[in-house]
Structure 1
Amino acid sequence: MAELPEDSVPGLRERKKLRTRAILIDAAMELCLRSGYDNTTVEQIAAAADVSPRTFSRYFATKDAAFMTLVEDYSHEVSIELETVPSEVGPLEALRQAHVAVLTRVASRQVGRLTAERIILMLRVINASDTLRRSAFEYRHEASEIILAKRMGVDVDDRRRRLVAAVFASTVATACGDLITDTDTFRLGPMVMVDRINEAFGQVALITADLPAPTGDYEQVYG
């Protein structure tokens, strides 16, 4: 399992910045759960965090950014983990292993940029907002795409890389979609997501077992 830079001890100034960032994110989450995303303003978030709107803007360009930063944090951890998966592991399985490793680590994390509680809040808020749901669906993490393409020996824009990403995203969405809409905190926990993801990819392996073997250029990527 990859060691993340987050585990190192930052200086006092950096700790203060991280603390303010976390307070702003948590304030935004709580307000949006209570009042709705569309009814929550930057000014309200800043006031709840006991900072000025100008301070908010130093951390996040928009209200959307305060939420999407958690998606970015998660994707960043996945990209680091993905690089540690042995090269002989296929692309879909490598993605599964990377996501499972990150979710397992986050499940027991009480402090830091990304915690189990923040993942739960993030899923609830995103589910309650069409705007955020669309942003999350359209989000692409450049570093992860580059690492996946490198593993496959193709360009980032190659349709095979995009196919793997699409299959993975669809499988996870199918596996965990009802967890996102569930209001029960326990059922939104990271380890429940891990169980669902593992089960879903086991099913994918079963239902695709009789597909014909790849030919031509596909052999270079998957063979």
Structure 2
Amino acid sequence: MDSAPGLRERKKQRTRATLIDAAMDLCLKQGYETTTVEQIAAAADVSPRTFSRYFTAKDAVFLTLIEDYSNEVALELETVPADVGPLEAMRQAHVAVLTRVAQRQVGRMTTDRIILMLRIINASDALKQAASEFRHDHTEVVLAKRMGVDVDDRRRRLVSAVFAAIIVTACGDLIVDTDTVRLGPLVMVERLEEAFGQVAMFTSDLPVPKDPDRV
């Protein structure tokens, strides 16, 4: 049975991709705050009404970068051995995806898209806030399954919140190349490893919970 998308679906996919490319290009040229939905639509040669059929708001276009990245992380998270703790499993999944992207395209992710994600999102306070609040359903389901808890369990939410804080703190200032930093997946790996090492050091003297049911 042919599972290839039909003509209408392919056209929708092309329009969506064109809108994303137009938004990224405009934002890099003039900044996120000054880029409007009308400008994005015009650059993609569609109407603002057509834009709204694909994205609920301007920030939703840019969060597709995080969504595509998170899709790959969720798939990788499923391959991490079950005996690895949840926070460490998240670290391993992110590092594995970023390392592979540095070598070749992974799904929709490329080194250039990682660079775009860093430059555009980190340069806007509004997008950084939206990114910190972003939740990826598949990742949350996989993480909850690993932990043996419901998706809404506080322990699962704690792991997600801690990891989000680590990655935002570790990589939130990566906006432009400098003499010592070149944007891309490998600098994210370096920052994540450094941040996790610091977290391990900071928490090394915390008392071990007596709850035998802990995850």
TM norm structure 2: 0.84
Alpha-carbon distance between aligned partners in 2 of 1:204 and 1:40, rounded to the nearest angstrom: 37
Residue by residue over 1:157-201, the C-alpha shift from the partner in whole angstroms, topping out at 9 and shown as x without a partner, is: 22222222222222222222332xx31186221111011112221
Match of 1:177 in 2: 172
* Secondary structure in structure 2 of the residue aligned to 1:74: helix
Alignment pair present for 1:136 and 2:142 = no
Match of 2:89 in 1: 94
Offset of residue 137 of structure 1: 1.4
Determine if contact 1:74/1:114 at 8 Å carries over to the other structure: yes
TM norm structure 1: 0.81
Question: What letter is aligned with 2:197?
Answer: G
Alpha-carbon distance between aligned partners in 2 of 1:114 and 1:141, rounded to the nearest angstrom: 16
User: Which is worse superposed, 191-200 or 165-174?
Assistant: 165-174
Matches for 1:63-212 after TM superposition, within 5 Å = 63-109=58-104, 113-179=108-174, 182-184=175-177, 187-212=182-207
User: Which is worse superposed, 28-37 or 203-212?
Assistant: 203-212
Summarize the Cα distance change of 1:46–1:112 in structure 2 as closer, same or farther, 3 Å threshold: farther
The number of equivalent residue pairs is 210
Offset of residue 85 of structure 1: 0.8
* Runs (5+) with no aligned partner, structure 1: 1-8
Offset of residue 18 of structure 1: 4.1
* Runs (5+) with no aligned partner, structure 2: none
For the aligned residue pairs, the C-alpha RMSD in angstroms reads 2.5
Identity of aligned residues (%): 71
Determine if contact 2:100/2:106 at 8 Å carries over to the other structure: no
Residue by residue over 1:60-109, the C-alpha shift from the partner in whole angstroms, topping out at 9 and shown as x without a partner, is: 23222111111111112111111111110000110001111121222234
